[in-house]
Chain A
Amino acid sequence: DTEVTQTPKHLVMGMTNKKSLKCEQHMGHRAMYWYKQKAKKPPELMFVYSYEKLSINESVPSRFSPECPNSSLLNLHLHALQPEDSALYLCASSQADRAKGLGLNTEAFFGQGTRLTVV
């Protein structure tokens, strides 16, 4: 049972569509992450939010746009994607450590992912 919930579980979209992936957690974690995972590869970090502020953007193309409306929610807005963007998109959350000047703790809990197919 995961405490990080992602919707939708599956998504098929055309290259001209606009869609959004949603992630929600109620563990009180203040760091939230988007990862992309291709088959037989490890998760690849895309974005990190720490205390609702974008902390890390791993040079992700602008057709992916993250949003963190509050401490429990994380969205990923998709627009004009390419077929090679098809992948499993994973949301994760973890405790954060603002007091030590470090944004992130590292034990992360993952949602079940959204399997995205771009046609």
Chain B
Amino acid sequence: RKEVEQDPGPFNVPEGATVAFNCTYSNSASQSFFWYRQDCRKEPKLLMSVYSSGNEDGRFTAQLNRASQYISLLIRDSKLSDSATYLCVVSFNAGNNRKLIWGLGTSLAVNP
């Protein structure tokens, strides 16, 4: 089983749609969770950290379910500019360091 798994997509949705991505992780000792966004041929950029209580930033809502070991990202009222790859990132302690494990990413295309 992969440490972090995401549906690669692509998700093709019309403008204004609501779309949700899930990400599952295998290490129950994982401590921190993030969603990054990466545009084609650009660097990844932090979209949201994911907290146990869930968090919302405008049209974006992230949730964490530790019992089932998954995190989710909900995008409401999709815009054309939301088209990108969304990467799920999980961190846990490895000896005296923390390691980041990246999912393969979910591709989103928002169509006019």
Residues of A near any B CB (own CB < 8 A) = 2, 41-43, 45, 48, 50, 55-56, 88, 90, 101-113, 115
**Chain A residue at minimal CB-CB distance from B94:** A56
> Which of A48, A101, A102, A113 has the most B CB atoms < 10 Å from its CB?
A102
The DSSP consensus for interface residues of chain B is strand
B61 touches A (CB below 8 Å): no
Interface of A is mostly: loop
Measured in the bound complex, the distance between the Cα atoms of B32 and A103 in whole Å is 15
If A42-B105, A56-B97, A102-B93 touch, whether A107 touches B34 (CB-CB below 8 Å) is: yes
A42-B104, A42-B105, A102-B96 known; A110 vs B87 contact (CB < 8 Å):
no
Residues on the A chain within 8 Å of B42, using CB: 112-113
How many residues of chain B are within 8 Å of chain A by beta carbon?
22
Give the residues in chain A near B100, CB-CB below 8 Å: 45, 106, 108
Q: Write 28 A-B pairs (CB below 8 A) sorted by A numbering.
A: A2-B43, A42-B102, A42-B103, A43-B44, A48-B97, A50-B97, A55-B97, A56-B97, A90-B43, A101-B96, A102-B93, A102-B96, A102-B98, A103-B98, A104-B97, A104-B98, A105-B98, A106-B34, A106-B89, A106-B98, A107-B32, A107-B46, A107-B49, A112-B42, A112-B43, A113-B42, A113-B43, A115-B41
Interface set of B (CB-CB < 8 Å, partner A): 32, 34, 41-46, 49, 87, 89, 91, 93, 96-100, 102-105
* Complex contact B46–A109 (CB within 8 A): yes
Residues of B near A45 (CB, < 8 A) are: 99-100
Minimal beta-carbon separation of A95 from chain B (angstroms): 11
Cβ-defined contact, B96 with A103, below 8 A? yes
Point out the residues of chain A lying under 8 angstroms from B99, CB to CB.
Answer: 45, 56
Contacts of B104 in A (CB 8 A): 41-42
Q: Is the CB of B34 within 8 A of A102?
A: no
A88 to B97, CA, bound (A): 25
A113 to B46: give the CA distance in the assembly, Å: 15
Not counting A2-B43, A56-B99, A102-B97, a sample of 9 additional A-B residue pairs whose C-beta atoms are within 8 angstroms of each other reads: A45-B100, A102-B96, A103-B98, A104-B97, A106-B34, A106-B89, A108-B100, A110-B44, A115-B41
